[in-house]
Amino acid sequence: MEGGAYIAIAISFGIATGVIGRAKGSSFLIWFAVGAVLPLLGLLAVILFRSDRNEPERRCPTCNKVVKLYVQVCPRCGTDLYLPDPSEVRTPD
């Protein structure tokens, strides 16, 4: 029963991928689907996936909204965000 074996593998990888994805602060269901559709690639993807939680943040100088360092335009007030003063950058723990 090759079909049954494939489904068992897909579900196993889906669960493993989903658990890792959730541990990284993402959605279990999204990563479960990725892991089930692409068993090995999905698992690799979630391992390499960088959690947003670990991205450095800084504060918008105009409206004080906290945004990720890679954000170039403030989503709240539209201010162009250039490279910040290093003292304003903080890494969430």
The contact pattern for Zn ion, residues 20-59, with x = CB under 5 A and - = no contact, is ----------------------------------------
Report the distance separating Cα 28 and Cα 33, nearest Å: 9
Residue selected from 16, 22, 57, 79 as contacting Zn ion according to rule CB under 5 A: 79
Is 76 a binding residue for Zn ion by CB under 5 A? The answer is: yes
The alpha carbon of 90 is separated from its chain's Cα centroid by a whole number of angstroms, namely 19
CB of 66 to Zn ion, least distance (A): 10
| Nearest to 28, CA basis, from 38, 37, 18, 36 | 18
Kindly report the length of the chain: 93
Binding site for Zn ion (CB under 5 A): 60, 62-63, 65, 74, 76-77, 79
